[in-house]
Structure 1
Amino acid sequence: MTLPARGFDLLKDVDVRLSVELGRTEMKLKDVLALGEESVVMLDRLTDELLDVMVNGTLIARGEIVAENGRFGLRIVELATGGEESK
């Protein structure tokens, strides 16, 4: 099914949840409860790996962190192809 270009105008105001994932780890609950202000949690990614950009839990792109005017941002480096899953 192909929608005409103006058909997408109906969807432009739909709210979606965009999230950027730095990495993942598995921990026991007792270790999570022991976290404090100076705690460090090691993730499964290296510092030079791209971050997953997801919309409603679906991987749509990968990107990298940028800093501009004292704020963090995200530069999209590659768009996901249909069959990809997040790491």
Structure 2
Amino acid sequence: MSDTETASPETKSDDPWKPGSANLRLLQEIDVRLSVEVGTSQVKIRDLLNLNEGSVVELDRPAGAPLDLFANGTLFARGEVVTVGGRFGVRITDIVAPGERVKDI
């Protein structure tokens, strides 16, 4: 390539993970499992067997606290419940820093 020619944006790869790069385009069609956690609780099997319709299980998180969003089991964001057209949804309020994601593994 001569000094007057420049690489096209498609072939230049300063950052292989920036939006529009070939590497990122390859990954965009991969399915991931997105799950939302309201809270957790540890119970004994005997208590689990006694649960029935109307039972209440106390969670480890206060009401109004942000929900945890997981992609394939890895915490990546926090959010809040919203309704969209009569269905529940989650509004993302905070993206977890990459260092924090690794810490949870």
2 CA distance for matches of 1:84 and 1:7? 24
Q: CA deviation at 1:83?
A: 2.4
1 CA distance for matches of 2:56 and 2:31? 33
Matched, 1:32 2:45: no
Taking only aligned residues, the RMSD between alpha carbons, in angstroms, comes to 1.7
Matched, 1:75 2:91: yes
Q: CA deviation at 1:70?
A: 1.4
Q: Read off the aligned partner of 2:16 and give its amino acid letter.
A: L
Q: Secondary structure at the match of 2:31?
A: coil
Structure 1 residue runs of 5 or longer lacking an equivalent are: none
Q: Read off the aligned partner of 2:49 and give its amino acid letter.
A: L
2 CA distance for matches of 1:69 and 1:57? 27
- Percent identity reads 47
Runs of 4+ in 1 over 6 A off after TM superposition: none
Q: TM (normalized to structure 1)?
A: 0.89
Structure 2 residue runs of 5 or longer lacking an equivalent are: 1-14
